[in-house]
Amino acid sequence: MTFVTRFAPSPTGPLHLGHAYSALLAHDMARKAGGQFRLRIDDLDQSRSRPEWESQILDDLSWLGITWNGPVRRQSDHFDDYRQALENLAAKGAVYPCRCKRRDIEAAVSAPQEGVRQYGPDGLIYPGTCRHRPYADRQPGDALRLNLDKACGRQMPAFDETGPAHAGRHEVTAEFLKTRVGDPVLARPGMAASYHFAVVLDDASTGVTHVIRGEDLFEASYIQRFLQWELGLPSVQYHHHRLIRDDAGKRLAKRDDARAIAKYRADGATPQDIRQMVGL
């Protein structure tokens, strides 16, 4: 079986132990399967991405003993591809411009008749305020959303998961998308694509067959599988792994510089020490 996976860090801070675990696990799984491990730099958000972080990421990964197949891919080199894919989807009539700011959505979903405010894997569940707006009326500063009512057909896709917490086959239902996500954002204001839209296109165009990443992104797979299906792209197999937590049990975040790989390196740790610390 073909096995192509990837590690896709955002160059917005240092790699920490959680990233090291994710990268090493995906790398080891690819090598064991005789497959490919690719490296992608998720620099979609140009306001937060820095070349210095990218250099440090590459350096830390090499130090860990990780090698990747093919060139490093950067999302910022593919903005035109995302725009083109969005145009193609819009031509099918299911994309609309949305001018709602976060506070508008909060106000709409916390209005008394709508009940309590709700969050899904993509944040606040969008109530569809701008759905009536035609794509042709989009303005600079608008986000672009997919109208689920137009996109959800009678037949819906599913995906396979092999990670420890959710192993099995998962149906992507219209019900889940409508009640837990709302119309997905395809592009944020001033950006070529949203995170979900970009990764789905990136994975497909680099032939990724297996997505291996942290459990915090498990629910995002419902949105991403749906977008793949909507775009007619091949499905991938998912493996969401456990998260590396700090001593208080909180998952590590970019700001946890104390657990940055660079810090451990400076303190004299070896790559083998890092493997041991993350339980590999």
Site residues (vs ligand GLU, CB under 6 A): 8-10, 42, 199, 213, 217
Smaller CB separation from ligand GLU, 85 or 90: 85
Query: Count of residues for the chain?
Result: 280
**Tokens 């949305």 appear where?**
98
Residue number of the CB atom closest to ligand GLU? 42
Name the minimum Å distance from CB 270 to ligand GLU.
25
Name the minimum Å distance from CB 125 to ligand GLU.
21
Which ranges in the chain belong to alpha helices (H)? Answer: 17-32, 51-63, 79-91, 102-109, 148-151, 174-176, 195-205, 220-231, 261-266, 271-277
Smaller CB separation from ligand GLU, 42 or 142: 42
Name the minimum Å distance from CB 243 to ligand GLU.
12
Smaller CB separation from ligand GLU, 36 or 147: 36
| Whether 152 contacts 174, CB under 8 Å | yes
Name the minimum Å distance from CB 265 to ligand GLU.
21
DSSP three-state, residue 143: strand
Closest to 145 (Cα-Cα) out of 179, 100, 210: 100
Smaller CB separation from ligand GLU, 10 or 56: 10
Alpha carbon 107 to chain centroid, angstroms: 27
